[in-house]
Structure 1
Amino acid sequence: MSSTRQFSFEFFPTKTDAGHEKLMQTAAHLATYNPNYFSCTYGAGGSTRDRTIDTVKHLNDVIKVSTAPHLSCVGDTKADLRQLLTMYKNSGINRLVALRGDLPSGMGMASGELRYANELVEFVRKETDDHFTIAVAAYPEMHPQARNFEEDLRNFATKVKAGANIAITQYFFNADCYFYFVERVRKLGIEIPIVPGIMPITNYTRLARFSDACGAEMPRWVRKQLEAYGDDTKSIKAFGEQVISEMCERLLQGGAPGLHFYTLNQAEPSLAIWENLKLPR
């Protein structure tokens, strides 16, 4: 694996034993591509905490790929977080993705002693010094709850300066927004690697709904082509693979320090892009 670029795959914890078994088979397959690490999400308000912990330990210890659990401050006390950090540290986990976290339906403003990701990063550094490589989220098209783009840039800079080592972006479909975001935050003194988050296109309806909710703008020409395919899953996947592969090629040629694939617990869509790009194994 190239030392100058980082490639990683993200999973979510499953709800059933059968789902977990399938996820581990997917992860074992992806591990043969020698990614730098895996990451594992954490449900709204910590709703999947136990399953996240179990999944992270299995990926790290059995699949043998360094795994970064998502850590959220929504709904957790400092004591809760301290306990989690100690457990992860004692389990040989040395990476984290530090997030404010999604607010569970009806929660309103964040609850818990820490309200924002920069406070969580500060807390992790205070509690564990430099044990963890900390990743934070970046939003090239602006966080959907930010008041404006300038404020969002400042908030991003604040959480990076709190002690983050790397940033992973929300997925996007327009390379220009990534390059512009990087250009702007570099002017704010941010020098850490900002890795593009990549979402393969396999299902139009679900992806369009999710993209609208999280503020990832799908170009009109892409939407219209996907709409035209209707229920033709094969054509949707082929077109999506082409669009995302071409975007990833442009990102890497433009200096992106790697790619972080949102796998949705599937190997093939991400690997199709990997193979198109002729990435190292």
Structure 2
Amino acid sequence: MSNAPATSSTELNIGVPFSFEVYPPRNPDLREALNKTILELAATGPDFISVTYGAGGSSRDATLDCVKFILANTDVEPMAHLTCVAESYQGANELVRTFLDAGVRSFLALRGDPPEGTQEGEDFLGDLGSAAELTQLIHRVQAEREPFVFEEEPRWHAGATRLSQKREFVRIGVAAFPNGHPQSRSKTQDIDVLLAKEAAGANLAITQLFFHADDYLSFAQKAKEAGLTMPIIPGIMPVISPGRLRRMIEISGEEMPSDLEIALEIEPTTEGQREIGVEHAVSLAKELIAGGAPGIHLYAFNQSGPVVDVLRRLQ
């Protein structure tokens, strides 16, 4: 990892850690624009930048390239998304090892969504059936790859070392669903699944999109009462156009936030819509931080401007 960022630092402080999510562009011509965005995001001082992963490995190489760019050109930890979709056990094992060998020590383990065109009831998963199984695999690969380390032992003499089974820490995040996963029977089941992910070795959860602070605060409190100990980071996206809002609702399955929808629809200018989206995200983040959220995860949509504006207004 580079010892100095490749862009001037404009580190921001909002009182809690923050992070970003980007996605590899499908068009290689957009790679340079994404690299510029990554540098601008890295300059704000995030805890990590996560990089999404296409279903069935459709963006595997692009994800790895993006992660390598973050490692080589910033001081920020990249978080690589991995999914179970159409992945064999051997293929997943090799993929995890590839990322570890590249220097990645943070992952987001996801079951993954059905590829487009999947029929209802059709099996779209591979040998791994859940995010919990993928979490266990990541830990297992790391253990096999690094069975022990040398630790300094100054009690013996200067420069002395000893073998230790302690390994380099690997951060494994998983998804959380404050308003319920589309396929879950109840919010209780969602919390039970989250507990199973933690038992498998997950040490961080990041929520899917939601639009009201109480959705997250209520869910986080119930999870804590159920025995969950890992932090749950709320995911926020500045929704700066009606089209983007409709797209996010389609992807997430959330209920349409009518107040935000109306505000965006009646605002005639692009600049005005952008301001509405940023202010909505700022207000939501303020409520979450005041309610005890341990951090903020911002879905950047590969644009630095709106998310950086959110952070600046939270300072």
Please report the TM-score for the alignment, with normalisation by the length of structure 1.
0.93
In the alignment, structure 1 segments of 5+ residues that lack a partner are none
Matched, 1:265 2:276: no
Matched, 1:114 2:125: no
User: Counterpart of 2:235 in 1: which secondary structure?
Assistant: strand
2: CA distance between counterparts of 1:2 and 1:228?
34
Cα deviation 1:136-194 (Å, max 9, x = unaligned): 00110111222322222211211122111111111111000100110111122101111
User: Counterpart of 1:189 in 2: which secondary structure?
Assistant: coil
User: Counterpart of 1:113 in 2: which secondary structure?
Assistant: coil
Matched, 1:197 2:235: yes
2: CA distance between counterparts of 1:174 and 1:223?
13
2: CA distance between counterparts of 1:62 and 1:56?
10
1: CA distance between counterparts of 2:297 and 2:303?
14
Q: CA deviation at 1:225?
A: 1.7
1:58 to 49, 61, 69: 69
User: Counterpart of 2:139 in 1: which secondary structure?
Assistant: helix
Percent identity of equivalent pairs = 36
- Between 1:173-182 and 1:58-67, the stretch displaced more is 58-67
Q: Equivalences for 1:120-131 in 2 at 5 Å? A: 120-129=134-143, 131=169
Matched, 1:213 2:213: no
Partner in structure 1 of residue 289 of structure 2: 252
Partner in structure 2 of residue 68 of structure 1: 79
Partner in structure 2 of residue 173 of structure 1: 211
- Contact 2:240 / 2:276 at 8 angstroms: preserved in 1? no
- Contact 2:241 / 2:277 at 8 angstroms: preserved in 1? no
Q: CA deviation at 1:64?
A: 3.5
1: CA distance between counterparts of 2:205 and 2:226?
15
In the alignment, structure 2 segments of 5+ residues that lack a partner are 1-11, 144-166
Q: Please tell me the residue identity of whatever aligns with 1:118.
A: A
Q: CA deviation at 1:4?
A: 8.0
Q: CA deviation at 1:101?
A: 1.1
CA pair 3-186 structure 1, distance change in 2 beyond 3 A: same
Q: CA deviation at 1:44?
A: 1.9
2:226 to 169, 177, 188: 188
- Contact 2:18 / 2:295 at 8 angstroms: preserved in 1? yes
User: Counterpart of 1:115 in 2: which secondary structure?
Assistant: coil
The structure with more radius of gyration: 2
Matched, 1:10 2:47: no
Q: CA deviation at 1:226?
A: 1.6
2: CA distance between counterparts of 1:267 and 1:136?
24
1: CA distance between counterparts of 2:87 and 2:16?
34
Cα deviation 1:218-252 (Å, max 9, x = unaligned): 322222222222x5211111111111101101111
Q: How many residues align?
A: 277
Q: Please tell me the residue identity of whatever aligns with 1:110.
A: F
Q: CA deviation at 1:5?
A: 3.2
- Contact 1:141 / 1:215 at 8 angstroms: preserved in 2? no
Please report the TM-score for the alignment, with normalisation by the length of structure 2.
0.83
Runs (4 or more) in structure 1 with deviation over 4 Å come to 1-4
Q: CA deviation at 1:2?
A: 6.9
